[in-house]
Amino acid sequence: MRDSVAATITATAERPQAPPHLSNRLIGWGFVLPFLVLLAVFVLVPTAAVIVISFTDWRLGEATISFAGLENYRALLTERVPRISAANTILYALMVTPLSVALGLWLAVLIEGSRLGRTFFRSACFLPVVSTTVAMAIVWEFLLHPTLGPVNSALLLAGLPPQRFLSDADLVLPTLAAIAIWENAGYTMVLFLAGLKSISAELYDAATVDGADRPWERFWTVTFPLLGPTLVFVVIIMLLRSFRVFETVATLTGGGPRRASEVMLFTIYQEGFQYFQIGYASAITVVFVLFLLVLTLVNFRLMDRTVHYK
């Protein structure tokens, strides 16, 4: 009996063992595999499908699909509607991104420097972010109503003429941008608050000793330089959020009046699910995604050069 047990132990000891690094790799792949499967199913495969469909003339509901080559992309460059929606989207992003970042930074510095009501003001400023966009759009539609809205009532009390904020081609895009700035300010505020928490109080004491005793001097010498990495992240996120505007346009204006508020995502929605031109909508989607990718990379490279990392 003892001889058999000893033989078993000896055989087990002599059996070749898997290298430690190999077992660690298998464990690592076991953790990563679910993410890779979800990435492939929900991102890579749909992206490849959109690229393939963009070279076809497929219309939603039709059983036959024909290869169209670059015809959809030629139409994208020659037709008037995509150019209008692209210009509106860029103008909208140029209005929303810098003002949302500046307002969020101002709110973060103001709340972080105050001693009373921090929790209340954080919650109040962040409330538009957690609210449903469509519900908030309906509220704004009432507030900006040309005859019943409180905003125009306030203008009348001030002796100013009422404005058609959502039906005037000159006012509709700035109005939508103002709504987005109000909604995004709380989001950027929270990100900047997290960045402010990482700045040591000793640096402010050192700046005071060096003569920067005014709040704005401490902001420009300590706070703003050390918020560089946070600022890069916030600007990129806000650019992407601004270019992905859809809900407020679809709810409040429907792209009108006279396409003055039509943006890229709304054009993609119309071409694909109202006019059923899936191939053409896919081509617009591919160009739009490539534009966002290039814009993000260029913005990151330009801003990264001026950032001071700790």
Nearest 5°: the CA angle 191, 42, 51 is 105
Which residues are registered as beta bridge partners of 59? Answer: 277
Residue with tokens 């006279």: 258
* Cβ atoms 285, 49 nearer than 8 A: no
Is residue 28 in some structural domain?
A: no
Give the SS3 label for residue 277: strand
pLDDT average, residue stretch 285-308: 84
**Residue 223 burial by CB count (10 A; 0-12/13-18/19+): exposed, middle or buried?**
buried
**67 pLDDT above the threshold of 50:** yes
For residue 305 the two structure tokens come to 């050069």
Is residue 41 in some structural domain?
A: no
CB < 8 Å & 24+ apart, contacts of 122-125: 122/189, 122/190, 122/193, 125/185, 125/186, 125/189
Q: How far apart are CA 93 and CA 264, in angstroms?
A: 12
Is residue 300 in some structural domain?
A: yes
For residue 18, which phi and psi values (nearest 5 degrees)?
-70, 140
Q: How far apart are CA 64 and CA 107, in angstroms?
A: 55
**162 pLDDT above the threshold of 50:** yes
Read off the DSSP letter of residue 262. -
Is residue 228 in some structural domain?
A: yes
Count of domains forming the chain: 1
Is residue 36 in some structural domain?
A: no
For residue 173 the two structure tokens come to 């895009």
Is residue 259 in some structural domain?
A: yes
Give the SS3 label for residue 56: strand
Res 29: pLDDT: 86
The string of pLDDT tens digits covering residues 232-280 is 899 999 999 999 999 999 999 999 898 999 999 999 999 999 999 999 9
The string of pLDDT tens digits covering residues 109-142 is 888 877 777 888 888 888 888 888 888 888 999 9
Q: How far apart are CA 70 and CA 180, in angstroms?
A: 36
Which residues are registered as beta bridge partners of 56? Answer: 67
Percent of the chain with pLDDT over 70: 91
Is residue 70 in some structural domain?
A: no
Is residue 252 in some structural domain?
A: yes
**Position 21 confidence tier, pLDDT thresholds 50, 70, 90:** low
pLDDT average, residue stretch 203-224: 81
More confident residue, 23 or 12: 23
More confident residue, 194 or 2: 194
What CATH number does residue 180 fall under? 1.10.3720.10
Q: What is the C-alpha R_g of the chain?
A: 28
Q: Which domain holds residue 257?
A: 79-304
